[in-house]
Amino acid sequence: MDKITLNAHLPLDTDNCIRRECPYCKREFKIRKSDFESLNHENEYFCPYCGQSADANEWFTTAQKDYTMNIAANAGIDLINKELTKSLKKLDSRSFRVKTRDVPRRNELINPENDDMVFFALPCCNKQIKISEEWDGTIYCYFCGFPHDRKGGEDD
């Protein structure tokens, strides 16, 4: 079978940032699309709020997970509809009638991204992330885990 290319484009805010959700504390933050695309899947990344670390692929929000799952499922459904219908139709004859009906595709919609949160500078990695405006505790670098004081990194 050929490789299926999945066409999942996660929504970006107007600063080209992608929402992330901590698998532990469930708080949300954002990273730049360019940083998202260069994530190293052998590395662990850190929650800016609780400082816990997890693999690169564990930071999707529930909405993003549903969206990518539905796109993956639709790729499978398309294949089933195409291949199974084709083979069932071959069986169809006067003595053996086969009725086929397509498996319905799943909804591939995801809400557009809001422009919430504020940029926070991470001099340790020379990057920026977006964090909740209300957060006034320590901010851990998503990329290296270095703890920063909230006041130091404010970026207007």
Chain residues binding Zn ion by CB under 5 A are 22, 24-25, 47, 49-50, 122, 124-125, 141, 143-144, 146
Closer of 45 and 67 to Zn ion (Cβ): 45
Instruction: Give least dist CB 147 to Zn ion, A.
Output: 10
Q: How far is the CB of 74 from Zn ion (least distance, A)?
A: 31
Compute the least distance from the CB of residue 132 to Zn ion, in Å: 12
Closer by beta carbon to Zn ion, 74 or else 117: 117
23/103 with CB nearer Zn ion: 23
Least separation in angstroms between residue 133's CB and Zn ion is 17
Tokens (6 digits) for 48 = 């800016």
Q: Which is nearer to Zn ion, 117 or 122 (CB)?
A: 122
